[in-house]
């Protein structure tokens, strides 16, 4: 298909439609996704020559990609709610700040390390919803608390939620994880230092930031390093979780140092933590009088770590679990203008060895551990399943529609036309500056790094190929930008605000997050420019 302004604008139309629907009309992702699906279908058929077979098979390819993504999303939410219903998540969050009287260190422990750990395990707005009330309980003002809990997780989104976004990146580009992981892990590791520095500054100002530098350097290096190691050793599902877990252990160790243990001029007392009037604090007046132990509280995550390591590193177990796979064969698809999608298998989904299935095994084991310990009130199983369904259905519809749209765009050649236009306008020199901003824009609009990768990863890959740039690095920068863009998304901010009583002050939080978020994306741009030349 020839590159003309009309062709480029029509190819861009489905994306523009999402922008208008979500930003202009304030529609949700599922509704906007459905409209963009129809837009892509109409333009794909009538302007880009997508025949009936091409369009129909595209939808089947899309559903395989969608299932691959939804398997993890639903299972991750299940594990989170199994632990949350048992009171385990809140308990971990309340125990951490008691380790130090230093306000800056408390901010780092909850706003950076604990929020990142939650991002690793759950995501989907959960880290902000859980960590922000805990920060308010420590004396941070609600706007500050939501901004800190959001910014702190920026580095952990891509390999967080058990690497859902990364899994999506692999699914939509059809590239293997080992090829994509290193660049994404390096860029997000760099972002991690900046996230920590912003949290320290927000906790207690410039003096505290200077005092925090040794801690930030150590914690940033540990978390980024562990994430890099896990991601490059086929354990990307544990990337952010593992990084944040080790970070928490090291962070707890750092609180033993005099520099980070005692209250400083900028620190406040912990007296308010157990006040039941404060959001997120333990409600001692409720009927829940069960005493919880920290080792049992974290057992869900320990089980998960053991199972993921075992399923990836114990070869006989891996082979056993991956025996049953859902695979569909597709014929060669050709549009009226000669755009060819080669014949081959679609996305293969391992029914019992998929990261989503490992999450389900962990959730079942954790459920029985908590149940045996007496942590659940009657009817817990029903409440857990209900929360999972209510939390996942809407976003699942959005993902299904957007993946369908992106597959039609790719198979009819629309993505190719878009990429050609961008590569001609920006050129090889300027394009790296724009890569993380494109990813961040997609995530800001859709509220999800996942959806940003669905929307733009194919486009970024094709542009990189046309410009002769490293495809893995460009995609790493795309998903790093998406990771940082998702923390600024209004949809997530609304969730955070609702947990700290800021229901009518979302714009105040948004303006603060935008400042820090854009700084982080600029850092990604600079890192991309500096590193892309050296990346092979």
Residue reference for tokens 């967080």: 160
With binding defined as CB under 8 A, does residue 281 bind another protein?
no
With binding defined as CB under 8 A, does residue 56 bind another protein?
yes
With binding defined as CB under 8 A, does residue 159 bind another protein?
no
188 within 8 A of 480, measured Cβ to Cβ: yes
Q: Which residues lie across from 326 on neighbouring strands?
A: 349
Q: How many CB atoms lie within 10 A of CB 341?
A: 20
136 within 8 A of 107, measured Cβ to Cβ: no
With binding defined as CB under 8 A, does residue 141 bind another protein?
no
Give the pairing type, strands 325-326 and 333-334: unpaired
What is the rounded distance in angstroms from the CA atom of residue 208 to the CA atom of residue 379? 46
Of 58 and 423, nearer to another protein (C-beta) is: 58
Residues across the chain: 536
Residue reference for tokens 């086929």: 234
Q: How many CB atoms lie within 10 A of CB 217?
A: 13
Q: How many CB atoms lie within 10 A of CB 238?
A: 25
Out of 9, 16, 23, 60, the only residue in the binding site for another protein (CB under 8 A) is: 60
What is the rounded distance in angstroms from the CA atom of residue 47 to the CA atom of residue 524? 37
CB crowding 464-501: b at 16 or more within 10 Å, else e? bebbebbbbbbbbbbbbbbbbbbbbbbbbbbbbbbbbe
Name the 3-class secondary structure at 488. Answer: coil
Angle, CA of 295, 299 and 302, to the nearest 5° = 115
Name the 3-class secondary structure at 469. Answer: coil
What is the rounded distance in angstroms from the CA atom of residue 488 to the CA atom of residue 24? 17
Of 55 and 480, nearer to another protein (C-beta) is: 55
With binding defined as CB under 8 A, does residue 402 bind another protein?
no
With binding defined as CB under 8 A, does residue 69 bind another protein?
no
With binding defined as CB under 8 A, does residue 28 bind another protein?
yes
With binding defined as CB under 8 A, does residue 507 bind another protein?
no
**Total binding residues for another protein by CB under 8 A?**
31
Interface region with another protein, contact rule CB under 8 A, candidates 28-36, 348-356, 410-418, 486-494: 28-36
Contacts of 531 (CB under 8 A, 6+ apart): 183, 186, 187, 473
Out of 15, 62, 76, 480, the only residue in the binding site for another protein (CB under 8 A) is: 62
With binding defined as CB under 8 A, does residue 343 bind another protein?
no
Of 291 and 329, nearer to another protein (C-beta) is: 329
With binding defined as CB under 8 A, does residue 400 bind another protein?
yes
Of 73 and 254, nearer to another protein (C-beta) is: 73
For residue 137, which of 278, 285, 270, 282 has the smallest C-alpha distance? 278
143 within 8 A of 435, measured Cβ to Cβ: no
Out of 4, 141, 332, 394, the only residue in the binding site for another protein (CB under 8 A) is: 394
Q: Nearest approach, Cβ of 314 to another protein (angstroms)?
A: 32
Q: Nearest approach, Cβ of 496 to another protein (angstroms)?
A: 23
Q: Which two tokens stand for residue 416?
A: 């190719």
Interface region with another protein, contact rule CB under 8 A, candidates 55-63, 121-129, 150-158, 434-442: 55-63
Of 215 and 360, nearer to another protein (C-beta) is: 360
With binding defined as CB under 8 A, does residue 37 bind another protein?
yes
With binding defined as CB under 8 A, does residue 325 bind another protein?
no
With binding defined as CB under 8 A, does residue 334 bind another protein?
no
With binding defined as CB under 8 A, does residue 33 bind another protein?
yes
Of 34 and 146, nearer to another protein (C-beta) is: 34
With binding defined as CB under 8 A, does residue 67 bind another protein?
yes
With binding defined as CB under 8 A, does residue 46 bind another protein?
no
Out of 3, 19, 27, 233, the only residue in the binding site for another protein (CB under 8 A) is: 27
Q: Which stretches of the chain bind another protein, using CB under 8 A? A: 27-28, 30-31, 33-35, 37-38, 52-53, 55-57, 59-60, 62-63, 66-67, 70, 328, 389-390, 393-394, 396-397, 400-401, 404
């Amino acid at each position: 298909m020839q590159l003309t302004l009309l062709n480029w604008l029509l190819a861009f139309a489905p994306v523009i439609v999402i922008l208008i629907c979500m930003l202009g009309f304030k529609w949700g992702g599922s509704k906007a996704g459905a409209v963009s699906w129809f837009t892509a279908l109409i333009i794909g058929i009538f302007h880009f020559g997508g025949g009936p077979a091409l369009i129909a098979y595209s939808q089947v390819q899309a559903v395989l990609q969608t299932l691959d993504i939804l398997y993890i999303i639903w299972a991750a939410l299940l594990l989170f709610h199994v632990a949350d219903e048992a009171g385990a998540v809140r308990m971990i969050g309340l125990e951490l700040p008691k380790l130090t009287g230093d306000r800056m260190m408390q901010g780092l422990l909850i706003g950076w390390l604990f929020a990142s750990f939650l991002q690793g395990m759950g995501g989907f707005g959960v880290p902000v919803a859980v960590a922000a009330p805990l920060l308010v309980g420590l004396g941070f003002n609600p706007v500050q608390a939501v901004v800190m809990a959001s910014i702190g997780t920026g580095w952990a989104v891509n390999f967080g939620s058990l690497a859902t976004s990364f899994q999506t990146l692999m699914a939509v580009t059809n590239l293997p994880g080992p090829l994509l992981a290193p660049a994404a892990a390096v860029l997000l590791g760099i972002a991690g230092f900046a996230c920590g520095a912003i949290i320290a500054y927000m906790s207690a100002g410039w003096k505290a930031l200077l005092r925090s530098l040794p801690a930030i350097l150590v914690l940033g290096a540990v978390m980024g390093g562990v994430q890099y190691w896990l991601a490059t050793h086929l354990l990307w599902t544990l990337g952010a979780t593992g990084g944040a877990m080790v970070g928490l252990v090291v962070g707890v160790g750092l609180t033993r140092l005099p520099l980070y243990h005692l209250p400083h001029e900028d620190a406040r007392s912990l007296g308010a933590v157990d006040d039941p009037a404060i959001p997120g604090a333990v409600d001692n007046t409720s009927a829940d009088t069960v005493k919880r132990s920290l080792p049992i509280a974290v057992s869900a995550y320990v089980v998960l770590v053991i199972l993921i390591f075992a399923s990836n590193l114990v070869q006989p177990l891996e082979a056993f679990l991956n025996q049953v796979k859902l695979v569909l064969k597709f014929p060669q698809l050709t549009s009226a203008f000669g755009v060819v999608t080669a014949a081959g298998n679609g996305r293969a989904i391992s029914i019992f060895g998929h990261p989503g299935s490992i999450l389900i095994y962990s959730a079942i084991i954790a459920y029985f551990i908590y149940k045996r310990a007496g942590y659940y009130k009657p009817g817990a199983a029903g409440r857990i399943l209900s929360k999972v369904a209510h939390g996942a259905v809407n976003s699942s519809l959005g993902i299904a529609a957007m993946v369908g749209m992106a597959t039609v765009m790719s198979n009819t050649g629309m993505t190719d036309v878009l990429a050609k236009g961008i590569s001609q306008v920006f050129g090889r020199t300027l394009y790296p500056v724009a890569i993380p901003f494109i990813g961040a824009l997609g995530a800001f609009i859709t509220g999800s790094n996942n959806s940003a990768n669905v929307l733009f990863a194919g486009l970024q890959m094709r542009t990189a190929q046309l410009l002769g740039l490293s495809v893995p690095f460009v995609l790493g920068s795309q998903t790093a930008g998406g990771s940082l863009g998702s923390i600024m998304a209004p949809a997530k901010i609304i969730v955070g605000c609702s947990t700290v009583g800021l229901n009518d002050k979302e714009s105040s939080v948004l303006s603060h997050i935008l400042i820090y978020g854009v700084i982080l994306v600029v850092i990604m741009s600079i890192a991309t420019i500096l590193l892309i030349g050296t990346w092979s």
